[in-house]
Structure 1
Amino acid sequence: MTDEHSTDEGRKSGGGAMGSAHRGKVLGVTISAALGGLLFGFDTSVINGAVDSIQHTFDLGSAAIGFTVAITLIGCAIGAWFAGQLADAWGRKPVMVLAAILFVASSIASGLAFADWFLMLWRFIGGLAIGIASVIAPAYIGEIAPAKLRGALSSLQQLAITLGIFLALLSDAALAGSEGNAMRQLWFGLPAWRWMLLVGVIPALVYGILSLSIPESPQFLVRKGRKDEARSVVSEVTGAIDIDRRISEIEESLENASRARYRDLRGTALGLQPILWVGLGMAAFQQLVGINAIFYYSTTLWKSVGFSSSDSFVTSVITSVINVVLTFVAILFVDRVGRKALLLWGSAGMFVGLVLASVSFSQAHMSGKTVTLPEPWGVIALIGANLFVIFFAATWGPVMWVVLGEVFPNRIRGLGLGIAAACNWVFNFLVTLLFPVLSQAVGLGWVYAGFALFAALSFWFVFSALPEVTGLELEDKTKLEHLHRERTA
């Protein structure tokens, strides 16, 4: 009885049980698209091991080095803002290839930078590529994946991001050597920190090659009137039983989509549609809890609380490994438990970890620019920071991108996802820019207390504002009506 009911429901949505061949295909194209996330994580974190050396090489103050790191994120915000529009005009594949080209150019030019302004310029261009990849991957995966697998497959984007962070920190540690010296001379007389940036060419090339091998999104093909190609993609990749019905559903959801403009985002909730505020809130809170303060400055942070240079590199790598491993929790449970439940657990767990870190850092002793933590507060700070990473990696890290990839209706998905992703990068920029300044001004204890406050607020936001869309097709009319309804709680 259950099997027949499931099959009937699958036919209603053009779906049905997927064979192993189709599962393999949809997994393959998802991994290829998600590699943009690997570059996203790699390029934003690789500067972690090079920060101190860049500051020394170009004689930069704390504000200048903060801006050098954060300028990438300005590029990310701009790239994300326009990515959806470019993808709607050119297609998902060409925009992925564009991102790969920008990644390659940025890695080479940044590694060979002869002045601080030149490094900033190419880190900015690299940010454009990251912003593009951050929008295209969840949008493409959300459109190509069947509803019953969409949460898990969309989570591969965050898994790729965490792998990128891990590979960046691992390569930084390897190039810095056992002494943790990023200034040591390596091949062709270039210091290690330059090779840290140059090595990004390798994953960028892999991403570009794989982007050329995947099919175009069926939603884009239908929008452009290429229905035969769309049927082929739906049949070969998703394994849908009633292909014509599936194409018809996409056509209905895309009605007038070609005429979608920014004015379509207007609504009665402070001038915007309520669902856009949900996306903006999710994007902002993911950064305001402070995750990138740990990953961008982790090596410098742990050195400041008493770890040696080599120990700081190792500690940063361990933190990134935790980030990778715990992302599998989201992949396994996001479709079973649901987006909302995971996010609520994540907010609570992050709050506890951040409170531990805040209390620990409030015990720090200052001696000039040197910060030390007495026993046992150094260990407690490390436990708190890693507990925070555990809950973030298992929940908010991947699930936020899953939600953004599916919460907007087809008609405004490109614009909505682009704006939400740009919002994410803007808050990423603000946290990254202000973290070193605020740490010096008020101390790490108060900074982490602020992150804990935002973790608590994120719990309230998810509980009161986020609708549950687990298991629904992107074209589901009931869902769209629900998401557009004013939420007056």
Structure 2
Amino acid sequence: MNPTATRRKANTYYVILIAGAAALGGFLFGFDTAVINGAVAALSKAFNANSLETGLAVSLALLGSAVGAFYAGKIADRYGRVKAMVAASVLFTISAIGSGLPIGIWDFTFWRLLGGIAVGVASVIAPAYIAECSPTHLRGRLGSLQQLAIVVGIFIALLSDYFIAVSAGSAESPFLFGIAAWRWMFWTEIPPAILYGMAALTIPESPRYLVAQNRESEAANVLSKILGGNVLTKIEEIRQTVLRERQPQFSDLLSRSGGLLPIVWVGIGLSVLQQFVGINVIFYYSSVLWQAVGFSEKNSLTITVITGAVNIITTLIAIAFVDKFGRKPLLIIGSIGMTVTLGTMASIFGTAAVDAAGNPTLSGSAGIIALIAANFYVFCFGFSWGPVTWVLLGEMFNNKIRGAALSVAAAMQWVANFLISTTFPPILQYFGLGSAYGVYTIAAAISLFFVLFFIKETKGIELEDM
């Protein structure tokens, strides 16, 4: 084999390795947000918590994520991407230990809030670091690793909850050493949280950050391992596009007229629409959803696990095609698919007969069609808006504002997630499932026009040319 090809192969393996280590933050992001699924009922029973206290215990973690995301860019620009990852790892570990040790619902909520802050930091650092360390031709695929890690994290959390609950008999029953099973559900997060910190300490700092800190010889060393060959031209290009005379600030995101820069608004729109199409309702409330339409608890859990698996497979499809087809075509196809499938579910749930408790009952083929539509919706989201949003957020901002702009966009994503997650139960109660899915259908239709008019293709463009 020729030496150049061998070197290029070694460079590619190296980049995949460091991007994979950064994406571990995504795994913990998915794991941390989903692990409460199996524990929430047992937890509220153990502490005799009312529905408001339980709701806050679940949803305040999402607001913690918004806070963590908002400050992550500032931390990353001041102390570096790697140190921010290590800080997130420490917070994940403390939160996992504390969440399994609470004596009441309020200290439990505090530990979850801490975990939420860690999730927010990880949600900003991973896409920024991966984009800054990836060669242009691989950036889309490596950026999609973040979403793959998130969905694998969700899947593993649901699976470990399921096995712990089944082994103990229920989430409330004693498990190992006579300690309640639901506490062990949170402690399963400790090993990956520690591993994330250890992995972060073995990877190099982002070359863009190093150039901004006037550490060019270190940046050259990292870039030669990533790109190979002479990297001095690349360093010169980066030098022209980073702020060296001072730390980046949030004021850099403002235009001369005082409002946010148009590109920042596009990032916020992308983030908010990713949540407004209702994807997290499927993951946070899926077993409740399927029970509401007549499936048993066990079958509902099985369907939830299948949905998680579908999400992983479709993210792999995105990884295969994002650098071939580009970001915009995948988003357009995904938006069309989501509008059709969500519209189908809205129509089925909206016209279904209701039982004495007010829950829709799907008879005959309607239940099967709803099930197929729900999984096809996850499929459409999984190859488009799921991974491509993170790819675009990591690469669409220029080097001067990337940390701060990503922080604002990701913080708004967590606020949108909070709004969708907390409004679903009251919409379900007062207006029914059909109305809830009608709202998400409208958001999916808006997402199509948003992509057509506001998203520019970034495939094949160097970060320095953004």
Q: Taking structure 1 as the reference length, what is the TM-score of the superposition?
A: 0.91
Question: Is this contact kept in 1: 2:168–2:181, CA < 8 A?
Answer: no
2:308 aligned residue? 320
SS of 2:464's partner is: coil
The answer as to 2:27 corresponding to 1:38 is yes
Within a 5 Å distance, the mapping from 1:132-281 to structure 2 comes to 132-177=121-166, 181-239=170-228, 241-256=229-244, 258-267=246-255, 271-281=259-269
Residue pair 1:110, 1:122 contacting (<8 A) in 2 also: yes
User: Which range moves more in the overlay, 21-30 or 192-201?
Assistant: 192-201
Structure 1 50/360 Cα, relative in aligned 2: closer, same or farther at 3 Å? farther
Answering whether residue 322 of structure 2 is matched by residue 358 of structure 1, we say no
Bigger mean CA offset, 302-311 vs 108-117:
302-311
Any idea what SS the aligned residue of 1:19 has? helix
**Contact kept in structure 2, 1:355 and 1:384, CA below 8 Å:** no
The alignment partner of 1:59 has SS state of coil
Alpha-carbon separation, structure 2, partners of 1:383 and 1:303 = 16
Distance 1:250 1:414, change over 3 A: same
- How big is the shift at 1:38? 0.3
Q: In structure 2, do the counterparts of structure 1 residues 365 and 351 end up closer, same or farther at CA, with 3 Å as the change threshold?
A: same
Separation in structure 1 between the aligned mates of residue 181 and residue 354 of structure 2, nearest angstrom? 32
| 1:327–1:398 contact (8 Å) kept in structure 2 | yes
User: How far apart in 1 are the matches of 2:454 and 2:257?
Assistant: 13
* Alpha-carbon shift at residue 289 of structure 1 (Å): 0.4
Deviation at 1:313, TM superposition (A): 1.6
Does the alignment pair 1:296 with 2:287?
Answer: no
Q: 2:64 touches 2:113 (CA, 8 Å); kept in 1?
A: yes
Structure 1 residues 107 and 436, CA, compared in 2 at 3 Å: closer, same or farther? same
CA distance in 2 between counterparts of 1:356 and 1:60 reads 37
Offset, 1:114: 1.8
Paired with 1:63 and 1:127, the residues of 2 have a C-alpha distance of 19
Q: Which segment drifts farther, 363-372 or 79-88?
A: 363-372
Among candidates 320, 324, 329, match of residue 341 of structure 1: 329
Indicate the percent of aligned positions where both proteins have the same amino acid. 47
Unaligned runs of 5+ in 2: none
In the alignment, which of 454, 459, 475 is matched to residue 448 of structure 2?
459
Where does residue 90 of structure 2 map in the other structure? 101
The structure 1 residue matched to 2:367, chosen from 368, 374, 378, is: 378
Shift of 1:77: 0.3
Deviation at 1:311, TM superposition (A): 1.7
Counterpart CA distance in 1 for 2:357 and 2:53 is 20
1:385, distance to aligned residue in structure 2 (A): 1.2
Measure the CA separation in 2 of the matches of 1:137 and 1:257: 25
The 1:118/1:377 distance shift into structure 2, 3 A limit, reads farther
Aligned-residue RMSD, C-alpha: 2.0
The match for 1:79 is 68
Whole-angstrom CA distance in 2 between matches of 1:180 and 1:468: 51
Structure 2 CA distance for aligned equivalents of residues 118 and 255 of structure 1:
42
Encode CA deviations 1:230-287: one digit per residue, 9 max, x unaligned: 1000001232x33100111111111457343222211268811110111000000000
Hey, what's the Cα distance between the residues in 1 that align with 2:22 and 2:14? 12
Q: CA deviation at 1:199?
A: 0.7
CA contact (8 A) 1:275 1:408 kept: yes
- CA deviation after TM superposition for structure 1 residue 201, in Å: 0.8
The residue type paired with residue 122 of structure 2 is A
- May I ask how many residue pairs the two structures share in their alignment? 462
- Distance in 2 between residues matched to 1:426 and 1:366, nearest whole Å: 34
Query: Which deviates more, 50-59 or 23-32?
Result: 50-59
TM-aligned CA deviation for residue 33 of structure 1: 0.4
Letter in 2 for 1:237: I
Q: Please state whether the residue corresponding to 2:400 is helix, strand or coil.
A: helix
Q: Which of 36, 44, 55 in structure 2 is aligned with 1:55?
A: 44
Does 1:437 find its partner at 2:434? no
TM-score by length of 2: 0.95
Offset, 1:376: 2.8
Q: 1:374 to 1:179 in 2, by over 3 A?
A: farther
Moved more, 416-425 or 267-276: 267-276
Letter in 2 for 1:50: A
Partners of 2:399 and 2:90 in 1: CA distance? 28
Contact 1:218 1:231 in 2 (8 A): yes
- Superimposed CA distance per residue, residues 375-399 of structure 1 (whole angstroms, 9 cap, x where no aligned partner): 3332222212111100111110000
Q: Is the counterpart of residue 119 in structure 1 residue 104 in structure 2?
A: no
1:67 corresponds to which of 56, 70, 76: 56
Q: Secondary structure at the match of 1:112?
A: coil
Which digits, 9 at most, give the CA deviation of each residue in 1:338-359, with x for residues without a partner? 1011001001111112122222
Mapped contact 1:75–1:131 kept (Cα < 8 A): yes
**Which whole-Å CA distance do the structure 1 matches of 2:51 and 2:443 have between them?**
25
Say whether the 8 Å CA contact 1:47–1:296 is kept in structure 2: no
Partners in 1 of 2:257 and 2:434 — Cα distance? 36
Unaligned runs of 5+ in 1: 1-14, 481-489
Contact kept? 2:135, 2:226, Cα under 8 Å: no
Residues 47-71 of structure 1: CA distance to partner in whole angstroms, max 9, x if unpaired? 1122222333333444443322111
Partner amino acid for 2:328?
K
Once residues 174 and 460 of structure 1 are traced to their aligned partners in structure 2, the CA distance between those partners, rounded to angstroms, is 43
How far, CA to CA, are the matches of 1:212 and 1:386 in structure 2?
39
Q: Write the letter of the residue equivalent to 1:210.
A: A
Residue identity in the other structure for 2:172: M
Q: Give the whole-Å Cα distance in 1 for the aligned partners of 2:416 and 2:5.
A: 40
Give, in whole Å, the separation in 2 of the partners of 1:323 and 1:39: 17
Structure 2 SS opposite 1:434:
helix
Distance 1:87 1:281, change over 3 A: same
Letter in 2 for 1:352: V
Deviation of the 1:309 alpha carbon: 2.0
Question: In structure 1, how many angstroms separate the alpha carbons of the residues matched to 2:359 and 2:178?
Answer: 32
The whole-number CA distance in structure 2 between the counterparts of 1:33 and 1:256 is: 25
**Separation (CA, whole Å) in 2 of partners of 1:56 and 1:356:** 37
Residue identity in the other structure for 1:217: S
Q: 3-state DSSP class of the match of 1:377?
A: helix
